[in-house]
Amino acid sequence: MAPSSFVSTCLSGKVALITGGGSGIGLGITRKLMQLGCDTIILSRNLKRLTQAQHELEKETNQRCLPLAADVRHYDSICDAIDTALEYFGKINILVNAAAGNFLCSLSNLTYKGFKAVMEIDAHGTFIVSHVTFKKAFRYEGGVIINISMTPHYTGALLQTHAGAAKAAVDAMTKHMAVEWGPYGIRVNAIAPGPIANTTGFERLSDSPTRNKTSNLRTNAENLLDNSDHTSSNSQTHHLVTQEPSKPNNSNLKTAELRKHAAMDQMSILIPLQRLGQSEDVANSVVFLCLPESNYITGATLVVDGGQWLTCCNFTVLEPNNMSKWIRDAQESRRNATSLRLPSRF
C-alpha cells in the first residue's frame, strides 16, 4: 500500500469501539485508527484472540486498546461491555460494526439454523451494539457509526442468500439510523468491501470444501457447463467465518497455498482495478468517514471493491463445482418430478 496521507494525529483524543476488532477486516480497521492516535475497544467472543491483538497493537502504536469479550447477539452482554468501556475511557466517539459470519451454501441446502446464525450476528448484532451505544454514549455527545456491509445482495450472488439478506438489513438500518439519530449529532454510514485478501473470510470463501481443483478463471468460464459431473458437500460449508480457520497439515500446506493464490488470481482478473482489496483499503475509508471532512455525509454506503461487483456480479458461480451444483440440483428435481409423474409448477 502507498504511504498514508492522513495526518498521524488526526484521530488523537478519540475512542473507537470496533466489534470483531481482533481479526480480519476489523483488526485492520483497529490498527489504522490506532496508528492515527485513536484509543480503541475491541469486542468479540474470543478473548484470547482479542488479547493477542491488544498486545500487538499497543506495541505498534503506543495507543491504548481495551479487549472485551461479549456476544453481539445478546443485549445484556453488550450493555455490560459498553459500561466497562465507558468506565475505562469515559467516552466513545466512534462505533464500527465489523462483526460478521458467513459461509458458502446453496439456498436449497441452507438450514434455518445457518440462516438464523448469520442474521443474528450481522443484522441483530448491528442493531444491538448501535442501540446500546446510542443510549449510553452517543445520545448525549453525538458520534459516528460505520457499519461494515457487503455487495452480493446487489445482484443476488450465488450461495450467499443468508449473508445477502443480513447485509441488506444492515444497509436499511444504516439509512434509518442516519435519519432518526441525525438530530443527535450522529452520522451513520456503511462500507461495502469487495474480496479482501489475507482475511479469514476470504480464505473460507475462496478455499471452501466445495473446491477440489484450481484452474484459470478463463478456463473456468469456458467450461462452466462442461463440469456437471463434479460434486460438492454443502453440509461441510456450514462454518461461520467467526470461527478459527482450519489449519492444513504440513503435507497439504503447499496445496492450500496454491489454491489460495489461484483463487486470488481468478478474482483479480474481473476486478477493474486488477487487484484484490487489502484490509487497509477498508480502513482508510473508515478513517475518512470518521473525520470532519466527511461531516455532511450520512446515510450513505461506500462501496470499496475496486469495481468488482460491476463486472463480476456472481463471483461465486465462477467455481465449476458451485455452477454444476446449482444447475444439477434443479435438473435432478425436474427429472424426479417427471419420473414420478408429478405436475410441474413451472
User: At residue 11, does pLDDT exceed 60?
Assistant: yes
Lowest mean pLDDT among 60-64, 73-77, 106-110, 252-256: 252-256
Q: In the structure, what pLDDT confidence band is assigned to residue 249 with cuts at 50, 70 and 90?
A: low
Question: Cβ of 133: how many Cβ atoms within 10 Å?
Answer: 23
Per-residue confidence band for 252, with pLDDT thresholds at 50, 70 and 90: low
**Using CA atoms, how far apart are residues 53 and 235, in angstroms rounded to an integer?**
32
* C-alpha grid cell, residue 128: 444491538
Who wins on pLDDT, 260 or 273?
Answer: 273
Mean pLDDT, residues 235-260: 52
- Tell how many helices (H) and how many strands (E) occur in the chain: 13, 7
CB 148 within 8 A of CB 103: no
pLDDT digits (tens, 9 = 90+) for 154-213: 999 989 999 999 999 999 999 999 999 999 999 999 999 988 887 766 666 555 443 433
Sheet strands (E) in the chain: 15-19, 39-44, 65-69, 94-97, 143-148, 186-193, 301-304
Whether the pLDDT of residue 290 is over 70: the answer is yes
Residue 293: how many CB atoms within 10 A of its CB? Answer: 10
Read off the pLDDT of each residue in 119-135 and give the average, rounded to a whole number: 99
| Residue of 151 and 274 predicted with greater confidence | 151
Report whether pLDDT(248) > 60: no
Distance (Å, whole) CA 68 – CA 292: 28
* DSSP-derived secondary structure letter, 230: -
Is the CATH number of domain 15-204+269-310 3.40.50.720?
Answer: yes
Q: What is the pLDDT of residue 87?
A: 99
**pLDDT for res 214:** 32
Q: Which residues contact 42 (CB under 8 A, 6 or more apart)?
A: 18, 21, 22, 26, 27, 30, 50, 53, 54, 65, 66, 67, 68
Q: What is the torsional sign of CA 28, 33, 35, 38?
A: negative
